[in-house]
Homo-oligomer: A and B are copies of this chain.
Amino acid sequence: MARARVYVTLKKSVFDPQGKTIHDALLSLGYSGVTDVRQGKFFEVELDGLPAEKARATAEEIARKVLSNPVIESFRVEVEG
């Protein structure tokens, strides 16, 4: 059983209104040291019956084709087990 973690973030050049809203909220709560907030998504994908190398390839394919929008997002995949 392999577990893949896929982290999806908006590319740096893409405006992140959720992150901006959280940043504004933190400033209004008094966290003046916060200079930027970006929000992303992550996914834990359990893969069964695949050898480690195949699990990574499958996880990267799923991340590219299903979990992220390559026009505005980038992703990172970690596989364990």
Contact = CB atoms under 8 A, between A and B. Distances in A.
A39 to B, nearest CB: 6
A46 B33 CA distance: 8
A49 interface: yes
A35 B42 contact: no
B7 A33 contact: no
Number of copies: 2
Nearest to A37: B45
Contacts of A67: 22
B44 A40 contact: yes
B25 A66 contact: yes
Given A41-B39, A41-B40, A41-B41, A46 B29 contact: no
